[in-house]
Amino acid sequence: MKHDMVSGVENPGQRVFYEQQWSDINLDDTPNQSGWRSIRPASDFLDFVKKLEQRHISGRALDLGCGNGRHAIVFAKNDFETYGLDFSENAIKLAENNASKNHIDTINFSVGDALNLEYADDFFNVINDDGCLHHIDPTDWQKYVENIFRVTKPDGTLRVKVFSKNSGNMSEASSNNRWQFSASSGYTYFFDETEIRNIFAKHFHITELKEISHDVDGRKKFYSVVMDKS
């Protein structure tokens, strides 16, 4: 497994916050739990992987904002050449440890920047973003999508999951500002459907866009989006 340090983090304040979060975390392995504090993959991600198999999609997969590696491990178990990227060094250490516990030593984990992806053009068949984009400042959305577009193969598939503005953990007191900070959610943007379509319209063709609830906490709402490179 590879462990590289890459400069250029999206937001220095976020780096401090999440490094602390990942250093203090007690990962949950309780059945029927999910979320970034759990090592269990989200059910909608598992559905996505099943659909990839049904479409006979294989090759290289990137888990962007991989956290503790829970989804990267699923990719590896399904025979993808797997890469995991996160801007938190502590998260990557946890991801490497979790992969080792699962007897997987083939995942290419690295510390890096979603806005400066250091991969070759047309490199990935599949990219998964389960909760990275909603931590990126709106002024950087274009840079984010251009980076992903560049490293995705011409027939590649992208999955993105972000918080919805209908989510119960968005502060009503500041509902006019959907870029928010809280101790439980960190730096988070809460999207509406139009924004999502506008972000990806020039680069990807959306094949599925739906609002879903958190596996455990039904108050939390997300948009799950699957798309192909245009």
Q: Give me the DSSP letters along 193-223.
A: HHHHHHHHTTTEEEEEEEEEE-SS-TT-EEE
Give the per-residue pLDDT at 219: 83
Q: What is the pLDDT of residues 98-123, one digit of tens each?
A: 999 999 999 999 999 999 999 999 99
Give the per-residue pLDDT at 21: 77
**Strand, coil or helix: what is 179?**
strand
Give the per-residue pLDDT at 210: 97
Q: Which residue has the tokens 């999207």?
A: 191
Give the per-residue pLDDT at 39: 81
For residue 16, the tally of other CB atoms under 10 A from its CB is: 11
Dist CA 88 CA 111 (whole Å): 6
Contact (CB, 8 A) for 109 and 97: no
Q: Which residue has the tokens 């989200």?
A: 42
Give the per-residue pLDDT at 216: 74
Give the per-residue pLDDT at 155: 94
For residue 201, the tally of other CB atoms under 10 A from its CB is: 13
- Give the angle subtended at the CA of 207 by the CAs of 206 and 209, to the nearest 5°: 75
Instruction: List, in sequence order, the alpha helices (H) in 67-191.
Output: 70-77, 89-101, 141-151
Give the per-residue pLDDT at 116: 95
Which residue from 147, 184, 5, 13 is spatially nearest to 87, judged by alpha carbons?
A: 5
Give the per-residue pLDDT at 6: 31
Instruction: List, in sequence order, the alpha helices (H) in 33-125.
Output: 43-54, 70-77, 89-101
Residues 6+ apart with CB under 8 A from 210: 223, 224
**Strand, coil or helix: what is 114?**
coil
Low-confidence spans in the chain with pLDDT less than 70: 1-12, 27-37, 171-176, 181-186
Give the per-residue pLDDT at 25: 74
Sheet with 60-64, strands from edge to edge, namely 108-111, 81-86, 60-64, 124-130, 152-163, 221-229, 204-213
Give the per-residue pLDDT at 19: 79
Q: What is the pLDDT of residues 126-154, one digit of tens each?
A: 999 999 999 998 999 999 999 999 999 99
Give the per-residue pLDDT at 215: 76
